[in-house]
Chains A and B, each alone.
Chain A
């Protein structure tokens, strides 16, 4: 059994699942950057004290699940999202969806995800994929970060849907409830909502370790890592920062390029040339994130090691913080006509 579905690769899993599920419903104006922008996906947070895989907890995107929910809500599409305590119930519900001809999004853990390279399989539980059919014991899977569709056996799928630990998916399944026609006017409004919410998250979030001030905070921390952690551990921390920033799914530059693409596409709905200029600023921010990654790599490869090198690294983040601050301030001043 196979439902009508077209696999489209994306940079990021949740963007891809959202885009592809909406496309299946006939909403073709939603591209990956549009979904990311309307869902206010761009973010930065460095959670002090929390350790992930013995390194710092850093994220460049918003909390899992929000991009799908926000995008659908902005477009007036009701969302169904279900968690399960029983594995057979979870499979039964999935089968019912497929029998109704409905592809569905599933949140999964990657540690047991058999088609991923071993090197990528950490206990990360907020990966997303689409199940679009079943043939014998195999479920047909469209994982948006993969070039081609793939399959998982019923057991393998159950195991990743019920992965344990932080952000445990608990069989989570989600999909847009019903088909709705989307007007350009709705898209225009959704863009405004998405941008305003992202401005709020990046400029005004309290606490000092998230948003643009979080980037500066991390920059200042990095300058102290060499003395505080020693060269070896500081190198591991920097490698973790780079992995989070450039890991599969970010589109490069810690999602900053995808946001730049979003502003260009938003221009088609809001022909205000300021959007194109601000898009360039995000490209600049993404480029600087990558320059910083090259500097970090110099340190974790052991090619450079002085305090001066750590200062340079930290200063890159301070500069990125001020560039992104400028970009979001410019976005907050845009006059939207809708």
Chain B
């Protein structure tokens, strides 16, 4: 990439930082320059987040249909898979898979619900209702 071709497109980084790019100057030597971003990768990130939003919406609907427990919704919301939830809560993966069933989730003790709520950074009420008030 030539130095003058370093893209300077708007991106999610705009209010935070610019990033260092490596490129060659007119005499072929490598130099660094700051870049605002590149449209191609900004779109890649948008596409990823669009997918996440769709997953969250789909999970919410499945919870309302009582196909899965609210855990599914929060796992999508917090970008966590069972491995990550297991690491934050201390539950085994097979336990989490069980708790994903609405009937099992309904009978969980307050203590266990609190473990999930802490991992998802919400209150137990929010955990049950999926109504999250982010500060």
Binding site for B on A (CB under 8 A): 9-11, 33, 53-55, 111, 115-120, 122-123, 145-148, 164-166, 168, 235-236, 239-240, 242-243, 246-249, 251-253, 257-258, 260-261, 264-265, 279-280, 283, 286-287, 290, 293-294, 296-297, 300-301
Bound-complex Cα distance A249 to B40 (A): 16
Task: Indicate whether B43 reaches chain A with its CB closer than 8 angstroms.
Answer: yes
With the chains together, A202 CA to B2 CA distance in Å? Answer: 26
Asked whether A260 lies within 8 Å of B30 as measured between CB atoms, the reply is: yes
Tell me whether B124 is interfacial, beta carbon within 8 Å: no
Contact A252 B80 (CB under 8 A): no
Residue of B nearest to A115 (CB): B16
Give Cα A123 to B28, complex, Å: 38
What distance in Å separates the Cβ of A43 from its nearest Cβ neighbour in chain B?
17
27 example contacts (A-B, Cβ-Cβ < 8 A) are as follows A11-B22, A33-B30, A53-B48, A118-B12, A120-B12, A165-B83, A165-B84, A165-B87, A166-B83, A166-B84, A236-B51, A239-B47, A242-B40, A242-B41, A242-B44, A243-B44, A249-B19, A251-B21, A252-B6, A252-B21, A252-B22, A252-B23, A258-B22, A280-B28, A294-B40, A297-B43, A300-B44
B87 touches A239 (CB 8 A): no
Which A residue sits closest to B51, measured CB to CB? A236
Inter-subunit contact A301/B43 (CB<8 Å): yes
Chain A residues near B40 (CB-CB < 8 A): 242, 246, 290, 293-294, 296-297
Contact B1 A147 (CB under 8 A): no
- Decide: B17 and A261 in contact? CB cutoff 8 A: no
Say whether B23 contacts A10, CB under 8 Å.
Answer: no
- Do residues B1 and A252 form an inter-chain contact, with CB atoms below 8 A? yes
Query: Given A115-B16, A236-B51, A290-B1: A11 and B32 within 8 A (CB)?
Result: yes
Contact A246 B1 (CB under 8 A): no
A107 to B45, CA, bound (A): 24
